[in-house]
Amino acid sequence: MPSPEFQIPDDEFSFRNVAPAEPQEPVAGTPEGVPACTVPLETMEPTQVDSEVNSENEIPKSGPRRRFESVPPVGETSESAQELDIVSLSSDAASKEKAPSSSLQQTGISPRHQIEAWLAAMVHDGASDIILRAGGRPSLRVGGSIRFLPGKVPGPGPMKEVLEGILGPRRWEEWNESGSADSAIQLDGLGRFRINAYRQMGEPAMVIRRVNDSAPDLSQLGLPHEQLETLASRQRGLILVTGVAGSGKSTTLGGMIQHINTTQERHIITLEDPVELLFKEKRSVISQREVGTDTTSFSDGLRHALRQSPDVILIGEVRDAATVVAALEATETGHLVMSTMHTVNAAQTIDRILGFFGTERHAQVRQRLADNLAGVLSQRLVPARDGGLVPAFELMVPSPHVRELIEEGRTGEIAKVIESIGEGGLVSFNHSLLRLVEQRVVDLDDALASSDRPEELLLSLRGIRGSAKRVKLPESDGRTGETPPESGAGGLRLAQ
pLDDT of 70 > 90? The answer is no
Alpha-carbon Rg of the chain, whole angstroms? Answer: 35
CB 413 within 8 A of CB 421: no
Helix (H, G, I), strand (E, B), or coil: what is residue 166? helix
Q: For residue 267, give the nearest of 339, 336, 331 by alpha carbon.
A: 336
Residue-level pLDDT at 464: 54
What's the CATH fold of domain 218-427? Rossmann fold (3.40.50)
pLDDT of 42 > 70? The answer is no
The span from the CA of 359 to the CA of 365, in Å, is 10
The span from the CA of 378 to the CA of 352, in Å, is 14
Q: Mean pLDDT for the chain?
A: 78
Instruction: Please give the C-alpha separations between residue 271 and each of 46, 241, 300, 489, in angstroms, as whole numbers.
Output: 62, 15, 10, 46
The span from the CA of 21 to the CA of 7, in Å, is 6
Residue-level pLDDT at 112: 86
481 confidence band (pLDDT: 50, 70, 90): very low
Which comes out higher in pLDDT, residue 35 or 114? 114
pLDDT of 118 > 80? The answer is yes
pLDDT of 26 > 60? The answer is no
Of 3.30.450.90, 3.40.190.10, 3.40.50.460, 3.90.1150.10, the CATH number of 103-211 is 3.30.450.90
Residue-level pLDDT at 409: 94
The span from the CA of 456 to the CA of 273, in Å, is 39
Most confident of 41-45, 166-170, 285-289: 285-289
pLDDT of 71 > 90? The answer is no
475 confidence band (pLDDT: 50, 70, 90): very low
Residue-level pLDDT at 214: 82
Q: Is 393 exposed, middle or buried (0-12, 13-18, 19+ CB in 10 A)?
A: buried
Domains of the chain by residue range: 1-77, 103-211, 218-427
What digits encode the pLDDT tens for the residues 121-159? 999 998 989 999 999 999 999 988 899 998 899 999 999
What digits encode the pLDDT tens for the residues 192-210? 899 999 999 999 999 999 8
pLDDT of 342 > 90? The answer is yes
The predicted model gives 329-344 an average pLDDT of: 95
DSSP 395-410: EE---HHHHHHHHHT-
